[in-house]
Amino acid sequence: MTTLDTTDHDDWLVRVHHRLTRTCQDQTAQLAELTATAPDAAEAAAHNALLSAARQGLADTVAALRRIEQGRYGACEVCAGPIPAARLDLLPHARTCVSCPR
């Protein structure tokens, strides 16, 4: 794969996959906890914002896992150029390089 400039690409990708899998499990548990609680009227807006953020986070993580499985992980979805490994280490669900808008 030419999208990442790492000498141990396969090991790195396995570590990223494991990290994303753990994140997915954590986000699924968080989402289950949020949906199991019924907030009172005063907390409804904050609860809904947390619920929305949890859903988006899970969707982003699942999409990153799907890109790994499809061999597209590390390629910018806008320009098809490589996403720097350092960016992916910080944001493993990143879809774009630094130059392209999301």
Residue 5 pLDDT: 47
Instruction: With respect to residue 68, please indicate whether it lies within any of the assigned structural domains.
Output: yes
Count how many domains the chain has. 1
- Asked if the structure places residue 39 within a domain, the reply is yes
The answer to the question of residue 55 being in a domain is yes
> Does residue 1 fall inside a structural domain?
no
How confident is the model over 51-58, as a mean pLDDT?
95
Question: Which pLDDT band, with edges at 50, 70 and 90, does 8 fall under?
Answer: low
Identify the domain containing residue 15 by its residue range.
9-73
Spatial distance between the Cα atoms of 31 and 55, rounded to a whole number of angstroms = 7
102 part of a folded domain: no
In a domain, 16, yes or no: yes
Burial of 69 per CB tally in 10 Å (0-12, 13-18, 19+): exposed
Tokens of 73: 């992980």
Asked whether 21 and 65 are in contact (CB, 8 A), the reply is yes
Share of the chain above pLDDT 90, in %: 74
β-partners of residue 78 are: none
In eight-state DSSP terms, residue 71 is T
According to DSSP, residue 96 is labeled S
Inside any domain, residue 98: no
Give me 100's structure tokens: 């392209």
The count of other CB atoms within 10 Å of the CB of residue 3 is: 19
How far apart are alpha carbons 23 and 45 in whole angstroms?
A: 25
Q: Is residue 35 part of a domain?
A: yes
